[in-house]
Amino acid sequence: MAVMKFGGTSVENADAMQNVINIIKTEKQHKIPLVVLSACAGITNKLEKIADAAADNRSDEALHWADEIQKHHETIAENLLKEPQTVASLKALIKEYIDDLKTLINGVDIVGELTARSMDVFYSYGELLSTNLLAAGLKEQGVDTFWLDARDVLITDDNFGKAQPLWDLTMKSLQGMVLPELQGGNVVVTQGFIGRNRSGKTTTLGRGGSDYSAAIFGALLKRTKIQIWTDVDGVLTCDPRLVPEAKRLKVITFNEAAELAYFGAKVLHPATIHPAVTENVPVYVKNSKRPEIEGTLITNDPGLLEGASYDGLVKSIAYKTSQSIVSIKSNQMLGAYGFLAEVFQIFANHKTPVDMISTSEVSLSLTINNTQRLRQIMHDLEHKAEVDVEHDVAILCVVGDKLRSSPGVSGRIFNALKNVNIRMISQGASEINVGFVVAESDLQKAASALHHEFFTGHFNEKIFA
Ligand code: ASP
Ligand code: MG
């Protein structure tokens, strides 16, 4: 039995939802699936804007955007559903959710403060709305369907905005509420991303967390597979917008997938990997717009990996744009201790994650993506050191399990990039990636050169499609 997770673009409008319904119908002939959905594309971001506006005394704007969200889902209901009665009852339900959202907006406006706890309630409307629409569509088209409030099964800790599941409780409620429905022949449709703590308050797993929900459900219910349906054909050797000759990987290991995710391949939330790996549930990444394509299988199962051995070094090249390099230079670093701790504390104080670092005796370069607090960070750092910032750079990263045991990789990278100015380089502790930083204007050139170096002549049909 499958857990099928559909991302925001797979449910963005009525056509996309109809596609999803068709995919579910096909899967159902086989075995009754558990379906996990994201919010419709763009809605989670909009809810974030709404929450910010409410906290910022701009509730007029917030309420206006809430109306837009209502309209968006009403339009899907009108285009997806045939029966006027179903359309009407769905619209009434949408209105109920939007009324609640508006109450929340007014509350936050009055208090003038947005806590992580309230943010999670804002977020929850996206997934609650999308799942209700899809469930109604399935039912209307004759598919026995049970709409499940994920918060009744995904029980989490109190870490609002970044909650972790409480495994035993979640397992128990899944077994009590989901298994009987599936066994009774109902497709179960539920939300990704959201859960509830033990006192019943809505929590979320962090942005992009629907994949994690799917993996949690798949692992706990010991499903035979987890499908992550998205808008790309699977995991590719590189983003085809950068390198048109990029190919799809038929299979990769969990380690490789995790590294790619950390380094910006938008296919999988890194945390997804964890529960699926523990229970060894294979994960398939597939394109909901082109379901006939087999996608990419991510697994550590030796049986499934059989025949997938590959004599090339690199499996894929990932990248992240919109990075900034912060270079810190200080003689205080020489032979001293505690300096780096102080530097990182400053970034921590400003809640700014650091992605890549490289150090020498008296200097340190690091990359950040979130520059919202950069001015304050600079201010704090300048007491201690000389600081330089370079914007518009990208992290590029080559990933492959074989990098671990292969000498000469950096030589090949440098050689391939001889015409590109490499701003930073670092080999990950996992030893299966080498990452470096280039100017965004060099990104395409660098990616093409690397792709050519590592893949041309290595397109083994067993693992590339
Ligand atoms: N809708 C949530 C987000 O956009 C969760 C998800 O899509 O995975 O972050
Ligand atoms: Mg998503």
Interval 389-431: pLDDT, tens: 999 999 999 998 888 877 888 888 889 999 999 999 888 666 8
30-43: pLDDT as tens digits: 999 999 999 999 99
- The mean pLDDT of 219-231, rounded to a whole number, is 91
Report which ligand 1 atom has the smallest distance to the Cα of 38: 7
Any ligand 1 atom below 6 A from CB of 266:
no
Q: Whose CA is nearest to atom 5 of ligand 1?
A: 208
How confident is residue 70, by pLDDT bands cut at 50, 70 and 90?
very high
**Residue 260 pLDDT:** 82
Ligand 1 proximity of 47 Cβ (cutoff 6 Å): no
Q: What is the pLDDT of residue 229?
A: 95
Ligand nearest the Cα atom of residue 230: 2
Q: What is the pLDDT of residue 50?
A: 98
Q: For residue 264, what pLDDT is reported? A: 66
**Looking at residues 225-244, what average pLDDT do you find?**
91
pLDDT of amino acid 194 = 98
Question: Which of 105, 43, 45 is CA-nearest to residue 69?
Answer: 43
Atom of ligand 1 nearest to the CA of 39: 1
With a 6 Å cutoff on the Cβ, whether 212 touches ligand 1 is: no
Q: How far is ligand 1, taken at its centre, from the CA of residue 330, in Å?
A: 41
- The residue contributing the CA closest to ligand 1 atom 6 is 208
Ligand 1 atom nearest to 211, measured from its CA: 8
Average pLDDT score over the chain: 92
pLDDT tens for 127-175 read 999 999 999 999 999 999 999 999 999 999 999 999 999 999 999 999 9
SS3 assignment, position 187: strand
Q: Cα–Cα distance between 23 and 4 in angstroms, integer?
A: 10
- pLDDT category of residue 329 using cuts at 50, 70 and 90: very high
Distance 6 CA to ligand 2 centre (A): 8
Amino acid at 441: S
- 72: CB partners within 8 A, 6+ apart: 40, 43
Task: Name the DSSP class of 464.
Answer: B
Calculate how far, in angstroms, residue 8's C-alpha sits from the geometric centre of ligand 1. 7
Each residue's pLDDT tens digit, 267-311: 676 667 789 888 989 999 999 999 999 999 999 888 888 776 666
The pLDDT of residue 273 is: 72
The answer, yes or no, to whether any atom of ligand 1 lies below 6 A from the CB of 448, is no
- Distance, CA of 283 to CA of 177 (rounded, Å): 24
Residues 430-457: pLDDT tens digits?
Answer: 688 889 999 999 999 999 999 999 988 7
Q: Is 193 in the pocket of ligand 1 (CB under 6 A)?
A: yes
Q: Please tell me the distance between residue 145's alpha carbon and the centre of ligand 2 in angstroms.
A: 23
Please report the pLDDT score of residue 461 as a whole number.
Answer: 75
261 alpha carbon – ligand 1 mean position (Å): 15
Would you tell me the crossing angle of helices 43-55 and 59-80 to the nearest 10 degrees?
160
With helix as H, strand as E and coil as C, how does 213-260 read? HHHHHHHHCCCCEEEEEECCCCCECCCCCCCCCCCEECEECHHHHHHH
- Determine the pLDDT at residue 269: 63
How many whole angstroms separate alpha carbon 451 and alpha carbon 458? 11
Least confident of 54-68, 86-100, 213-227, 416-430: 416-430
Domains of the chain, each with CATH number or no CATH: 2-231 (3.40.1160.10), 314-455 (3.30.2130.10)
162 C-beta closer than 6 A to ligand 1: no
